[in-house]
Amino acid sequence: MEKREKLYEGKAKIIYATDVNDLVIQHFKDDATAFDGVKKDTVLGKGVANNNISSKLFTLLEKEGIKTHFEKKLNENEMLVKSVEIIQVETIVRNISAGSFCRKYGVEEGIVFDKPTVEFSYKSDEFHDPLMNDDHIRVMKLATEAEIDEIRTKALQINEILKKFFDSIGIIVVDFKLEFGRYKGEVILADEISPDTCRFWDKETKKKLDKDRFRFDLGDVEETYAEMMKRIGG
């Protein structure tokens, strides 16, 4: 597998072309940003942790019948993935109130919902990822109604699989963000699933085990990514 030119560089990852059609390399960086890139730093070992964690979770989801862009882990901070057309909508599933849900609606953190919520936002740093409903997505032509329905169903299935797995290692899945892409006429899960894109709390201590430690300067940032990689067995 020959690595070719850089196709895209985002805040936390780089995509490289390969000599194989339809496959690209997803490289995980140690760069960390928050608040649409306003806060920036390096978190040593984050790239390796997120690559290993995402590889493990994509493998688990595939085993449970969820199609993802994951092909295989290539090395410590790179994976081989299918080249998808990313749908410019972020899908967020919440099991417990936290983050922007608390800020927006003035509720306390930690309220356990009787059923998960699914919300969508426009993937745009410029406009600060604004919340969108199905109609907004449709009129903006970001996805069709059928695609939105499929994404919502898949997001809830993924939530059940992740909650069960994380419960078995003593971790609560508070909320998470997914990105989907189009590939050969199908909508498949893309991007990453990691402490950068999920909120995880320890079941016993309720300690935050995710990027909130970086966002809000809670300390133990590097240690937390390393601990999550170890607990997930990535």
Question: Which residues make up the interface to ligand TMP (CB under 6 A)?
Answer: 92, 98-101, 129, 175-177, 197-199
| Count of beta carbons in the 10 Å neighbourhood of residue 92 | 20
In the complex, the smallest distance separating the C-beta of residue 216 from ligand TMP, rounded to whole angstroms, is: 11
Smallest gap from residue 38 Cβ to ligand TMP (A): 12
- Min dist CB 113 to ligand TMP, Å, is 13
For ligand TMP, give the closer residue by CB, 57 or 92. Answer: 92
Nearer to ligand TMP, 182 or 215 (CB): 215
Q: What is the number of the residue whose Cβ is closest to ligand TMP? A: 99
Closest approach, Cβ 22 to ligand TMP, in A, equals: 26
Going by C-alpha positions, the residue among 146, 147, 195 that lies closest to residue 173 is 195
Is 28 within 8 Å of 12 (Cβ atoms)? Answer: yes
Tell me the closest approach of the beta carbon of residue 108 to ligand TMP, in angstroms.
14
Q: Which residues contact 157 (CB under 8 A, 6 or more apart)?
A: 64, 66
Closer CB to ligand TMP, 14 or 92, in the complex: 92
CA distance 121 to 119: 7
Contact 67, 150 (CB under 8 A): no
Q: Which residue has the tokens 């059609």?
A: 21
**Which is nearer to ligand TMP, 18 or 157 (by Cβ)?**
157
Structure tokens at 25: 């390399």
Cβ proximity to ligand TMP, 31 vs 175, nearer residue: 175
Closer CB to ligand TMP, residue 69 or residue 177? Answer: 177
Strands 23-28 and 31-34: unpaired
User: 112: closest CA among 124, 101, 125, 121?
Assistant: 101
Q: What is the closest distance, in whole angstroms, from the C-beta atom of residue 5 to ligand TMP in the complex? A: 27
Cα 31-35-39 angle, rounded to 5 deg: 50
Other CB atoms within a 10 A radius of the CB of residue 114 amount to 4
